[in-house]
Amino acid sequence: MHHSSDSQIRVLVSDDSRVHTELLADVLRRDGQFEVTTSPSSSEGLLAQLSQSSVDILLIGSNLDGLPGRGFEVLRDLQSSSHFVPSIMLLNSSAQEVVLEAFRAGARGVYSKEESVSDLSKCVRRVHEGQIWANSQQISALVQAWSSGHHVRAVDARGVNLLSKREREIVNRAAQGLTNREIATQLGLSPHTVKNCLFRIFDKLGVSNRVELLLMTIDHSRDVRSGYESCLANDGDFNLHDEAMLIGCQRAAESGVLIAQLALAQHYSACSRNHSDRCNSYVWYSIAMQQLLQGWKDIAQEMTVDQVEEAEQRSARWLEFRGKKPVVRHELASTRCRSLQAKVSSGTVSD
């Protein structure tokens, strides 16, 4: 973080809409405590400006380069770079999955464009002070997602649970929105004991408050299921223009869902505007291809020569019917057929 030498807070605003970017910048400038600059509505322009300027707080739109969800990608990249600064994500809505993704991407605060700009200055100041910023609706969305999770995710790199049984009991009840006193009553403890236990949990997990604890321990399985269902419901149209759908699809793809991987590959290919899009498309096609080839190889190993020949003919007819040129049989299938034929001829296996 780069701190100003005086009392002013240096803020950089970058949103997909130039008009909205300037509107937010003007609101902050009227406060008098902020030194505000704006960035072109592109990820490349934003990264270039961060590398050249000292910034205390970044206000970044969830959509950049004309693409939904691009801001999340940029923020994740910034977290691991020397240009990272505390950031506030400008959201198009307060939908639960969008709010969750913003915090997971590294945002320290979220501000929906549906909200009045009257609290924007307060939001920036609180994040600059090291606090988390979210309104009551967004906090409720986080608590709801947390409390509906299947289990507490608090393990180290080896999968060893970092929390004791009692600590997990306290975390689970905190996830339900219970106060320290209510948790104490349920577990037969004093409120002071619960408070001290929560502080120990914060230390173990490297967080400073309940919201950060929520984000670390929340179960992602619902996101994966939602992303998978979104891909199926999309009826083959994988241009993921809806921000929430793109986020769910990303989570499902990262968890190994093949249809989600193909959806992302086609999405980035369709909106290929720069090197990053083309690279993302290639990556997801490559990952999906590994699954496809392995599955194709596994099923081929269970088939006879005649079955492979029949399957090849059926796929060729299907392609021809749709005006596509059948591909030459893959080397693996040819090798499989030759291997089976040799075994049949030698009498080591029956066809």
Is the pLDDT at 57 greater than 90, yes or no? yes
Is the pLDDT at 336 greater than 90, yes or no? no
Residue 262 or residue 124, greater confidence = 124
Give the Cα separation of 232 and 63 in Å (integer).
24
Is the pLDDT at 28 greater than 80, yes or no? yes
What own/partner pairs with CB < 8 Å and gap ≥ 24 does 172-181 have?
A: 174/198, 174/210, 174/213, 175/143, 175/146, 175/147, 175/149, 175/214, 175/217, 176/143, 176/147, 177/143, 177/147
Provide mean pLDDT across the span 20-25: 90
Using pLDDT thresholds of 50, 70 and 90, give the confidence band for residue 295: confident
H-only helix segments in 112-162 = 120-128, 136-147
Asked if residue 251 lies in contact with residue 259, where contact means CB atoms within 8 angstroms, the answer is no
Whole-number pLDDT of residue 348:
54
Whole-number pLDDT of residue 36:
93
Is the pLDDT at 110 greater than 80, yes or no? yes
Query: By three-state DSSP, how is residue 133 classified?
Result: strand
Whole-number pLDDT of residue 226:
52
Provide mean pLDDT across the span 246-273: 72
Cα dihedral across residues 322, 328, 332, 338: positive or negative: positive
Whole-number pLDDT of residue 215:
63
Whole-number pLDDT of residue 272:
61
| Least reliable range by pLDDT among 53-62, 129-138, 324-333 | 324-333
Whole-number pLDDT of residue 121:
92
- Residue 81 neighbours by CB distance under 10 Å: 10
Is the pLDDT at 12 greater than 80, yes or no? yes
Whole-number pLDDT of residue 5:
44
Enter the pTM of the model.
0.51
Token pair, residue 82, equals: 């020397």
